[in-house]
A and B are shown apart, each in its own frame.
Chain A
């Protein structure tokens, strides 16, 4: 009798596996999720606004966070500030103003630190070609002080508003938001490129109708592998305010698909969530949020974990059955199994995905409802 039971349970196991194969088709895009956001805490966030004038930027080592704030102790209006920490396990230390060489009495905001930590792009209405312009300040080494900012010039900056830049990891593409003519309406995302970091920036190109709409597209972020893009937009279909949208692609030669609202728990109804930035290891989303429950002030900086879905068969545990699913899809671009090295994968099911699965081996997951 016992033998029959054990045989039945084995059959049931096979059935579950077969069912899983059907389920895969449904959850094929759910290869990672955003976890519950947490506030960066009172050494960064104050009763004033942090990240409200365009946002924040995180260094490659994730030990420095640059942001704008109108807290007291600055040089007028919004200033650029930085907070540091000794290791990623430590709390952020008290933030520090970048000083009078960088900051002005005008609105200085939306910092973006280059991958090497030696260039800091930001926007300011301190004067230039009209409206808000993009500026850059540089330093020789990460131990040096920042130099006097320079205007990015009349090719990048228009007579309208040019703001909220994002510099690619190779330093050769500058993405930004602009009200200049030639867009799809309101603010659009544009990109200017250069052949080498010693060359001048080229004529900006509109990122086109997949990413831009007639609404306001503002700050965007693109992963170092070029496969994941986040942007902030107040387009309809959102939570009612400014939301963060995401699009991914299997290879850099593929076109972007229409960005989707990343939804709960990051985007919360009616409140604005802006300036999405992801850590270089792809595991943490940083953003700025307005009037969110838990805020210290109007605008606060928050972070949310980016979690690959490693329980591929949704049976509540990461084990060899999940590994079998990866092996069954070896060499394909199945996105369910494509969970490494970044949570959004790399377009192919391979050893990178096994490595991520192994990190989570034997972890138990509460069954989804």
Chain B
């Protein structure tokens, strides 16, 4: 076995050039099934950072959207029966598009309830601990909310950035994504800033959802390329969370169906993308689906994760080679380091079916 390693390594150096960008793949979308999905429909999922709470919008009393939550004791358990967040949080009007903070103590959402500044406003409800009930929601007020349509909030992992979509002072298109920041969680939100022309297009954008490392932003896009087609999920990337967005691409047709695909939500470890879709195979008008994001760990594509793959990581140590940059998130962290070895070790000795 040892004898083969030098040979394998020579072969690898040739192969590497070809597969240099195949550092992660999306799996096949799976319907979450009952009890999350039902004939009543389920939409706009947001998953807690510990992966044990799934908030989503479903039909409430009177037929308007309400916020619901389903929980599971551990990651390997099935989701429990959904519970309506109740009259303290939900109104008689439209309540949807929730985003849960990393500590699980703040829930941002959009609502058309009476008393807002515009047709749709962003609200937040809080709780002292995860065992407490949610408080009476508070309108975030200006400069977040305006007389325009302010919708689909997303709170960043550090709690200092609030992304949302708005039709206020539109710069690039029909609706644009903005971000508002604050120096600490005790400070008020600053003036919203347009995310710029890589993310925003002449068409529609919405449902911003940022990975916990801040390097990947999922959004929905409609008519972004000037062509009216289905609503699809797009993915913007940047080298580090302090950089400008450098690229925004539409996810492949394995993820995006010919029907509406929207409300992307990435798990805190980057391994699962939740989305709302109208594709066939659902139980209601809208269903929640999930798709896995898997790092490509068989670096030399020999069908097995083993020491030869580790050698490739070591050969590229300290570089930004994307083939080897598979951790801690599937899209790496820009450096080949111990995080990549840890991911490789999780998959050690797994047999990987060879690509055709």
Contacts and interface: CB of A to CB of B under 8 A. Distances in A.
Genuine A/B complex = yes
Interface of A: 10, 13-14, 17-18, 319-320, 323-324, 327-328, 330, 350-351, 354-355, 358-359, 361-362
Nearest to B311: A320
Given A17-B2, A320-B311, A328-B307, A351 B317 contact: no
B316 to A, nearest CB: 11
Contacts, number: 48
Interface string B42-53: 000000000000
A241 B5 CA distance: 51
Contact of A323 (B2, B3, B310, B337): B310
Given A14-B3, A323-B311, A324-B307, A355 B341 contact: yes
B299 to A, nearest CB: 12
B346 interface: yes
Interface in B291-332: 306-307, 310-311, 314-315, 317
B313 to A, nearest CB: 8
Contacts of B345: 350-351, 354
Interface residues of B, number: 19
B338 to A, nearest CB: 4
B348 interface: yes
A320 B314 contact: yes
B330 to A, nearest CB: 18
A367 to B, nearest CB: 21
A170 to B, nearest CB: 26
A361 B313 CA distance: 11
A324 B315 contact: no
Given A355-B341, A358-B341, A320 B346 contact: no
A362 B317 CA distance: 10
| 10 closest Cβ pairs, A-B complex | A327-B307, A320-B314, A358-B338, A351-B345, A320-B311, A324-B307, A323-B310, A17-B2, A354-B341, A14-B3
A330 B5 contact: no
Contacts of B337: 358
A355 B342 CA distance: 7
B342 A330 contact: no
A323 B314 contact: yes
B353 interface: no
Contacts of B317: 361-362
Nearest to A361: B317
A355 B340 CA distance: 10
Nearest to B315: A320
B298 to A, nearest CB: 14
Contacts of A355: 338, 341-342
Contact of A351 (B6, B314, B342): B342
Contacts of A327: 306-307, 310, 348
A14 B345 CA distance: 24
Interface string B1-28: 0110110000000000000000000000
Contact of B311 (A18, A324, A328, A350): A324
